[in-house]
């Protein structure tokens, strides 16, 4: 097999893997919106400044779809052996790679602020449980759905509802804190001990790890795709000049 044909196969393979990687990110984004949507919706309602967190799923969906498109175009460029398509593909991948590199540097630079950010979220959620839960129907229903889905009670535990507006008004805890009840009586002694905050942290960290692994793998593949496309471009140019 000639070097040219080998490069063609390698470029096609790289782009096909990028296409699959984009599909993985797209799937993760959809999964975040489906499984984590209630919690993200709650954060968005608690504070408008948390819209960035709520839009993570949409960002993953958009990025995944774009990578799938780039991978598809790269495969077509390799099969058609078109210099123009290969150069455009190279430039697009280069722009994406540089954008990912800048984003990674920014994330690392501000990683030390993660604890402050999470403490800010904790403060907002505690304020919501104490003052707004049971008072605003839309937000209350959203948090009820979160507690039911994640099998948790309160932010750090059922004691968060002590002296809250809901408890002082109803003299019992939310029904979600007692998933198993007899005779449909009010929840006086909660059976759920874990709060939603640590559950959400675990959920967030697991998704971040998955996204990080996928991002690193895609970055390596992008470098390989750029190198293969440029080598193939030079090879086609050399063959056309000899002909």
CA distances from 28 to 32, 56, 131, 141 (A): 6, 10, 34, 26
Dump pLDDT digits (tens) for 210-242: 767 777 787 887 787 788 788 888 877 777 766
More confident call, 84 vs 38: 84
Number of domains composing the chain: 2
Are 193 and 227 members of one domain?
no
15 and 61 both lie in a single domain? yes
What's the whole-number mean pLDDT along residues 182-210?
79
Q: What is the residue range of 153's domain?
A: 115-197
Which CATH number does the domain housing residue 128 bear? 1.10.1450.10
107 or 216, higher pLDDT: 216
Q: Examine residue 205 and state whether it is found in any structural domain, yes or no.
A: no
pLDDT tens-digit readout, 173-183: 998 898 877 67
Residues 99 and 216 in one domain: yes
For residues 80 and 165, membership in a common domain is answered with no
């Amino acid at each position: 097999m000639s070097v040219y044909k080998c490069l063609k196969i390698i470029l096609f393979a790289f782009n096909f893997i990028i296409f699959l990687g984009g599909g993985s990110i797209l799937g993760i984004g959809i999964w975040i919106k489906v499984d984590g949507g209630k919690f993200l919706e709650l954060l968005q309602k608690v504070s408008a400044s948390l819209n960035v967190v709520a839009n993570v799923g949409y960002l993953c969906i958009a990025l995944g779809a774009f990578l799938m498109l780039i991978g598809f175009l790269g495969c077509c460029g390799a099969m058609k052996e078109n210099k123009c398509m290969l150069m455009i593909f190279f430039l697009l991948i280069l722009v994406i790679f540089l954008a990912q590199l800048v984003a990674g540097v920014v994330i690392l630079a501000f990683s030390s602020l993660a604890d402050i950010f999470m403490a800010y979220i904790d403060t907002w959620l505690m304020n919501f449980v104490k003052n707004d839960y049971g008072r605003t129907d839309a937000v209350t229903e959203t948090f009820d759905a979160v507690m039911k889905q994640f099998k948790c009670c309160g932010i750090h535990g059922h004691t968060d509802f002590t002296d809250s507006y809901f408890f002082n008004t109803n003299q019992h805890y939310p029904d979600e804190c007692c998933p198993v009840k007899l005779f449909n009586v009010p929840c006086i002694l909660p059976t759920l001990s874990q709060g939603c905050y640590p559950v959400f942290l675990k959920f967030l960290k697991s998704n971040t790890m998955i996204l990080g692994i996928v991002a690193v793998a895609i970055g390596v593949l992008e470098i390989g795709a750029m190198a293969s496309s440029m080598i193939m471009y030079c090879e086609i140019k050399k063959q056309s000049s000899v002909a």
